[in-house]
Amino acid sequence: MSTERRLDVLRAIVEDYVTTREPVGSKLLAERHHLGVSPATIRNDMAALEEEGLIAQPHTSAGRVPTDRGYRLFVDKLAEVKPLSRPERRAISTFLDQAVDLDDVIFRASRLLAHLTQQVAVVQYPSLRRSGLRHLELVPVPGDRLLVVIITDTGRVEQRTLALSAGVDEALIAIVRGRLNAAVLGRRLPEIREALPGLLDEFEESQRPLVQEIFDLLADTLAEETEERIVLSGTANLARSDAGLEHSLRPVLEALEEEVVLLGLLTDMAEDSHGVAVRIGHETQHAGLSVTSVVSTGYGTEGDSVALLGSIGPTRMDYPGTIASVRAVARYLTRILAT
């Protein structure tokens, strides 16, 4: 059996099983696909694929279904990804362009990806650690307090309130605001945290206690894990009869509730690939997700992602279509954040 024909047979089995949810037999493969060989030859090819652990027979006299290893080989050998149609691309652009702020952008992106894939969509908020500063605002408020507003270049806004022990000196606060914005504008937030101690030397001795309080709040805020926020959409899609997860839905839903698990998985996948990454079945390394596959990528500035998004569905998913949808939504999110 030639390697090329073996891959053709595997591809045909995956495509038919994704479409029909029924085990695939050699006769149907011969009828539906132009493989150029007889059903008997296809049966021999299927036997060899089964020996390699790429397909399996669910029960005697049934056809074959892909295994996790079979899906992995299919994904690795994808020659091309199914492109989205022009109406689909236009719909994505129109829907996301109507967003009014970052929260709306993230919410719309998750709903859109869930709709396109008919699976679960997960979208992470832009990370503070990977974002740059667009503006820092210091606003005196009643009660000797100071409202600190951090606005990032990804549209993320963080607000903190500081009780000032020495009272509010509005003139000094205006000076601090101006110097901080001039010193750290456009810099990544971890770099800002490192730069704060050096900026303290620019102030007079009498001003430093107040400045130190502001700096401490900024440093604490930038050190927080507040970026670990995600939005999930489309969990109901997993309950559809054609998803094939009826008997394993509960552990999947329980896994989806663990945001730390999802973020850890997406982060690991981002380290595996500079483009779209795919984890199949047990490759997720989480028991609850062992019957699912995850397709993910990053979005943000060109060549440097600030957050992650992905699609989670049964291992019997439309991999080319899911990859295309994940890639397209990430591309539009990147464009929106750049404007």
**pTM for the full predicted model:** 0.78
pLDDT tens readout for residues 51-90: 999 999 887 777 899 999 999 999 988 867 777 888 888 8
pLDDT at 303 over 70: no
Residue-level pLDDT at 1: 46
Residue-level pLDDT at 263: 86
pLDDT band at 279 (very low <50, low <70, confident <90, very high): very high
Chain-centre distance of CA 293, in angstroms? 13
pLDDT tens readout for residues 129-146: 667 778 888 888 888 888
More confident residue, 159 or 122: 122
Residue-level pLDDT at 235: 93
Hey, what domains does the chain have and what are their CATH numbers?
3-76 (1.10.10.10), 86-127+228-338 (3.30.450.40), 133-223 (3.30.390.60)
Tokens of 314: 């049964």
Total residue count of the chain as it appears in this document: 339
Using a CB cutoff of 8 Å and minimum separation of 24, what contacts does 238-241 make? 238/119, 238/120, 238/313, 238/314, 240/118
Distances (CA, A) of 27 to 13, 48, 63, 322: 12, 17, 10, 29
* Helix, strand, or coil (residue 271): helix
CB 235 within 8 A of CB 253: yes
Q: Please, is 45 exposed, middle or buried when counting C-beta atoms within 10 Å of its C-beta (0-12, 13-18, 19+)?
A: buried
pLDDT at 217 over 60: yes
Q: Give the best-scoring range by mean pLDDT among 6-15, 28-37, 141-150, 169-178.
A: 6-15
